[in-house]
């Protein structure tokens, strides 16, 4: 494991004697990805954030400390290889991958919350686009990063997930199945990587979050939705030494403080 995981006290806990923790955040130009990239960078990590538009990713990264923007289409194997090569080269390695890039129900139904449609009404090309991004994309990026982490002696993978109710909700094809698949993928990745030095965990907000995935007519009711910043504390913790050895957990951001307290109590008992 890189020395950059050495935990230090202070305002920048992700900068240790070996340098900053090096993190690749896919889909980091907006929503949950931007919130996590921001929290990690402000905590001292060196962050490579990706987006399908290279110039946009670079512009977003320019506003963060120690961040770079990298063009990446997670559905394209050659794009994944190029992006991981670039991030690894420019950061000097990747200690943690945050698999976050995704698209939502607006892809197939812009009014999915107020006018849900049956699965038989979903266009096939829309179904494929969502599954290829949310499931195949997680697989492709992890497949590219994992051998490098193993060769480097370890690393961490955080797969962003959603609530079980969202996976099963009426009118949520293809988003629900794509997220159910990515959660199953995460557990299998964890099983395959057990005792290798590479850990895999799931992180989810704990409710609907104000991002571009929401339909436009839902945003005015924003008081009912979570702020993407809720993902900051748990993802920073997962990058820290305190999370060393944490493996195959499903962490809910809204319950993170209680989860962490319970975990601390159990370890002391």
Give the residue numbers annotated as catalytic, written as ranges: 175
* Those residues with Cβ within 8 angstroms of residue 35's Cβ, 6 or more apart along the chain or in another chain: 227, 228, 229, 230, 231, 232
CA distances from 202 to 54, 85, 91, 138, 235 (A): 27, 24, 24, 12, 10
Closest CA to 231 of 25, 7, 57: 25
* Tokens linked to 140: 């492709």
* Tokens linked to 129: 């686009």
Instruction: Give the C-alpha separation, 5 to 14, whole Å.
Output: 7
Instruction: Give the C-alpha separation, 250 to 186, whole Å.
Output: 10
């Amino acid at each position: 494991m890189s020395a950059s995981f050495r935990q230090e006290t202070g305002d920048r806990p992700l900068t240790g004697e070996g340098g900053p923790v090096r993190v690749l955040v896919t889909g980091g130009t907006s929503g949950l990805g931007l919130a996590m990239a921001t929290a990690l960078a402000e905590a001292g990590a060196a962050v490579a954030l990706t987006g399908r538009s290279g110039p946009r990713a670079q512009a977003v990264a320019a506003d963060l400390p120690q961040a770079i923007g990298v063009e990446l289409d997670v559905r394209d194997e050659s794009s994944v290889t190029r992006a991981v090569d670039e991030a690894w080269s420019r950061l000097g390695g990747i200690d943690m991958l945050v698999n976050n890039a995704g698209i939502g129900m607006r892809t197939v139904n812009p009014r999915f919350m107020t006018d849900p449609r049956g699965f038989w009404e979903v266009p096939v090309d829309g179904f494929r686009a969502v599954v290829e991004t949310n499931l195949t994309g997680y697989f492709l990026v992890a497949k590219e990063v994992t051998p490098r982490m193993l060769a480097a002696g370890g690393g961490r993978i955080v797969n962003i997930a959603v609530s079980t109710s969202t996976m099963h909700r009426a009118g949520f094809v293809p988003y629900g199945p794509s997220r159910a698949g990515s959660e199953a993928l995460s557990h299998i990745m964890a099983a395959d990587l057990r005792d290798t030095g590479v850990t895999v965990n799931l992180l989810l907000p704990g409710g609907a979050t104000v991002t571009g995935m929401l339909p436009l007519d839902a945003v005015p009711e924003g008081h009912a939705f979570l702020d993407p910043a809720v993902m900051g504390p748990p993802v920073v913790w997962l990058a820290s030494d305190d999370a060393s050895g944490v493996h195959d957990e499903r962490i809910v951001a809204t319950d993170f403080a209680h989860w962490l307290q319970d975990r601390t109590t159990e370890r002391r008992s």
